Chains A and B, each alone.
Chain A
Amino acid sequence: MDLTPNDEQIAFQTATADWCRDHMALEDARARRDGLWAELEAMGWTGLTAPGMDLDHATEALVFAELGRFLAPIGLLSTAVASRWFPDVVDGKVALALTASEPEPLRVLDPAGSGAVLRSEPGGLRLFDLPDAFTDQSGTLHTTPHAPTIDLSTLQSRHEWTSSLWTEDDPAPALHLQLLSAAYAVGCADAARDMAADYAKLREQFDRPIGWFQALKHMCSDMAVRAAAARSQLYYAACALDENAADAAFHVAAAKRLADQAALDNGRTNIQVHGGIGMTDEAAAHLPLKRAHLLQFIAPAAREALLA
């Protein structure tokens, strides 16, 4: 039993954080530059989870928590998971569909440049074609408009249900998506905590840093507690998946539930710690909160899974 990362895992973690800091700053998440996806592909982030890579879930969770800390593209989650479970068909970016039910059109997140879209269902994962444009019988060309979401770094589109592929009857694929999205939320909760703590040391009122005041200090401490609980459970869940533990589904669901809450609560608290500037578009404090509101709908933890 060892729930601390080993040297190799720490190296992965550090390399990810270093790259993100230089190329994918959190502050830029309000408008990601066009070439980012190509860079992510070139750096190998998109193929990290492919079967040949043989990374364990624990290492993946560590890396995705770092990516999540910088509010990396949502499409990276779906692409990573699809590369693992549909290795023969996936080539390039895969978008993520939220669990709308037929006949409602699919809500597709991060559709730009994606040829396919991944959706998590109770029985497993489904991969749909994602034609960006199609010509109907009368010869009219339809293109799907991309609309904004609450998370400024993520666009969305609506798509009719197309033909799809299924993973085999196996809980593992859906748990993989749930684990990595929990990792994203853990990173998001960390980001909000660190932003708040940094600001509380810097900003002065009444001739002292506002972090001196217990009302603020204790809010920051609670952010640290939530982030620590979620991160520890994430590690445990990843290991449970690696060991094929009988209760792995519960542990992954618990990780997602705690990570979502930590991301939402820390996101909100971060804004209060910042005061007026915190609720502006100019400051970055709103970015983790908005990301958290999106993440809570990606592979959410079902109550039944938590009580099973």
Chain B
Amino acid sequence: MDIGFSPEETVFREECRDWLHANVPAEKRPLDAADAVDFDKAWQRRLFDAGWAGINWPVDYGGRGLSIVQQVIWLEEYAKAHAPWIGANFVGINHGGPTLILNASEEQKAYHLPRILKGEAIWCQGFSEPGAGSDLAGIKTRGRIEGNELVINGSKIWTSFAHVADWQELVLRTEDGSLRHKGLSWVICDMHAPGITVRPIRKMSGQAEFTEVFYDDVRIPLANVVGGLGNGWKVAMSTLSFERGTGFIADQVKQSQEIEELIATARANGMIRDDRIADQLAQLRAEVAAVRAMTYRNISEVVRTGQPGPEASVIRLFTSELGQRLERMAVILMGEDIIDFAYGDDNAVADYLRGFAATIAGGTAQIQRDIIGERLLGLPKSR
């Protein structure tokens, strides 16, 4: 075991650092999704042009074809440089693209992957429905086959960035009368198709980053089905494994930045003299170190065996709850100033309020605990 990097990796790290130092935009990412998306697209394009998009994606689809370790190095330097949040490109880069690489046809990959990497196409994820959240297999949105098209009716909810998206990972029921995990398909849905209505939903932090999406006789070519008609559950599970796994490395890396800032703040405002605060900060710093160790261990596992170990779900749960503890500490250190929060503010209070998503989105903490108990410890399935 070792935590050192090869000379080649060290050179790569320096390249990342130098480029980021010279190129990270000085202006802040705009708060509202509609304005932010232009910012996100422009930034993604710059990353692509400079060769920093899709570091471990295949070269054939516009990636660099480098190792996952180099991807992690990039993300570490990215966080250190305070580079902007990936924003509206989250779905495409972190799980839409990877799902396509694994499951899609050559035509689908050749068309979509370069557009994702260049920031030309924004993706969103249409999995959850009003009646199917944790119980994803309860999906009711239907796609009726008519000739070489699917005619779609139904609705999705909590779809982040749908109001600015061009494409959607849409999971729907394509087999009449099918139950649960059967008869579902994973479809590339054109968000500009007639019959789609998007209603933005404001979060308690003030931003309208997620939405409700209605489908009224929306026509999508059958050629947009990924991984075969009726195989949607399997493809969706691969999407979730990316969303819950490697998609969150960036968050984990960011936490090591955040804890240092919290300690600095507590030193500056004197609150570190409070024993309870000092002890909580010490604890958080140890936990943040453990997240990095867990991530490295998981990455090592990927390098060694080609796939993340079963402990990926452990990292996801630990990181999401740790993120919330960090956000809670940030508002504790604000003292009474939390009272001044108003919609439109983009500060620690907004992060704290937005941060409740970490244990809800992408599978709630309860569902993660089921997965850990059943897959890692072999306890009997409850559902």
User: Are B4 and A1 touching (Cβ within 8 A)?
Assistant: yes
Please give the distance in Å from A48's CB to the nearest CB on chain B.
Answer: 17
Which of B1, B5, B369, B374 contacts A3 (CB under 8 A)?
A: B1
> Is A119 engaged at the interface, CB distance under 8 Å to the other chain?
no
Give the CA-CA distance A303 to B9 in the complex, in Å: 34
20 contacts between A and B (CB under 8 A): A1-B69, A2-B303, A3-B293, A4-B300, A193-B377, A217-B373, A221-B370, A222-B369, A225-B318, A228-B314, A229-B314, A236-B293, A238-B1, A253-B286, A257-B282, A258-B286, A306-B282, A306-B285, A307-B263, A307-B272
> Is B290 engaged at the interface, CB distance under 8 Å to the other chain?
yes
> Is A187 engaged at the interface, CB distance under 8 Å to the other chain?
no
Residues of A51-90 whose CB lies within 8 A of B: 58
User: Are A58 and B1 touching (Cβ within 8 A)?
Assistant: yes
Which of B3, B373, B379 contacts A243 (CB under 8 A)?
A: B3
Q: Which residues of A contact B9 (CB under 8 A)?
A: 1
User: Are A251 and B289 touching (Cβ within 8 A)?
Assistant: yes
User: Are A236 and B304 touching (Cβ within 8 A)?
Assistant: no
Query: Which residues of B come within 8 Å of A, CB atoms?
Result: 1-5, 9, 69, 263, 272, 278-279, 281-283, 285-287, 289-294, 296-297, 299-301, 303-304, 311, 314-315, 317-318, 366, 368-370, 372-374, 376-382
Which of B282, B290, B374 contacts A217 (CB under 8 A)?
A: B374
User: Are B279 and A235 touching (Cβ within 8 A)?
Assistant: no
Residues of A164-201 whose CB lies within 8 A of B: 193, 197, 200-201
> Is A111 engaged at the interface, CB distance under 8 Å to the other chain?
no
User: Are B382 and A212 touching (Cβ within 8 A)?
Assistant: yes
Give the CA-CA distance A18 to B156 in the complex, in Å: 53
> Is A205 engaged at the interface, CB distance under 8 Å to the other chain?
no
Number of interface residues of A (CB under 8 A): 48
Contacts A2-B303, A197-B378, A197-B379 given; indicate if A257 touches B293 (C-beta within 8 A): no
User: Are B314 and A254 touching (Cβ within 8 A)?
Assistant: no
Counting chain A CB atoms within 10 Å of each CB, which of B285, B289, B303, B378 scores highest? B289
Q: Which residues of B contact A21 (CB under 8 A)?
A: none
User: Are A1 and B372 touching (Cβ within 8 A)?
Assistant: no
User: Are B373 and A220 touching (Cβ within 8 A)?
Assistant: yes
Give the CA-CA distance A245 to B5 in the complex, in Å: 13
Q: Which residues of A contact B279 (CB under 8 A)?
A: 303
Residues of A240-261 whose CB lies within 8 A of B: 240, 242-243, 245, 250-251, 253-254, 257-258
User: Are A232 and B380 touching (Cβ within 8 A)?
Assistant: no
Query: Which residues of A come within 8 Å of B, CB atoms?
Result: 1-6, 9, 58, 193, 197, 200-201, 208-209, 211-214, 217-218, 220-222, 224-225, 228-230, 232-233, 235-236, 238-240, 242-243, 245, 250-251, 253-254, 257-258, 301, 303, 306-307
Please give the distance in Å from B10's CB to the nearest CB on chain A.
Answer: 11
Closest to A302 in B: B282
Contacts A1-B300, A232-B293 given; indicate if A257 touches B373 (C-beta within 8 A): no
Please give the distance in Å from A270's CB to the nearest CB on chain B.
Answer: 13
Contacts A3-B3, A218-B373 given; indicate if A201 touches B380 (C-beta within 8 A): yes
Contacts A228-B311, A257-B283, A306-B286 given; indicate if A5 touches B1 (C-beta within 8 A): yes
Query: Apart from A2-B303, A257-B286, what 4 extra A-B contacts exist at CB < 8 Å?
Result: A2-B300, A197-B379, A221-B377, A236-B292
User: Are B377 and A224 touching (Cβ within 8 A)?
Assistant: yes
Give the CA-CA distance A228 to B295 in the complex, in Å: 11
| Interchain Cβ contacts within 8 Å, total number | 155
User: Are B263 and A4 touching (Cβ within 8 A)?
Assistant: no
Q: Which residues of A contact B373 (CB under 8 A)?
A: 211, 217-218, 220-221, 224
User: Are A254 and B377 touching (Cβ within 8 A)?
Assistant: no
Give the CA-CA distance A201 to B374 in the complex, in Å: 11
Q: Which residues of A contact B272 (CB under 8 A)?
A: 307
User: Are A254 and B285 touching (Cβ within 8 A)?
Assistant: yes
Closest to B278 in A: A303
Which of B1, B5, B287, B377 contacts A229 (CB under 8 A)?
A: B287
User: Are A220 and B377 touching (Cβ within 8 A)?
Assistant: yes
User: Are A239 and B2 touching (Cβ within 8 A)?
Assistant: yes
Give the CA-CA distance A74 to B30 in the complex, in Å: 58
Closest to B9 in A: A1
Which of B278, B304, B369, B381 contacts A307 (CB under 8 A)?
A: B278
User: Are A221 and B372 touching (Cβ within 8 A)?
Assistant: yes
User: Are A254 and B289 touching (Cβ within 8 A)?
Assistant: yes
Give the CA-CA distance A217 to B297 in the complex, in Å: 25
Q: Which residues of A contact B317 (CB under 8 A)?
A: 221, 225
Q: Which residues of B contact A220 (CB under 8 A)?
A: 373, 377, 379
Which of B263, B293, B299, B378 contacts A235 (CB under 8 A)?
A: B293
User: Are B376 and A211 touching (Cβ within 8 A)?
Assistant: no
Q: Which residues of B contact A250 (CB under 8 A)?
A: 285, 289
Counting chain A CB atoms within 10 Å of each CB, which of B9, B291, B379 scores highest? B379
Give the CA-CA distance A207 to B294 in the complex, in Å: 38
Give the CA-CA distance A200 to B379 in the complex, in Å: 7
User: Are B263 and A201 touching (Cβ within 8 A)?
Assistant: no
User: Are A225 and B372 touching (Cβ within 8 A)?
Assistant: yes
User: Are B285 and A307 touching (Cβ within 8 A)?
Assistant: yes
User: Are B294 and A228 touching (Cβ within 8 A)?
Assistant: yes
Contacts A212-B382, A220-B379, A236-B292 given; indicate if A6 touches B282 (C-beta within 8 A): no
Give the CA-CA distance A1 to B13 in the complex, in Å: 13
Please give the distance in Å from B383's CB to the nearest CB on chain A.
Answer: 10
Which of A1, A193, A254 contacts B5 (CB under 8 A)?
A: A1
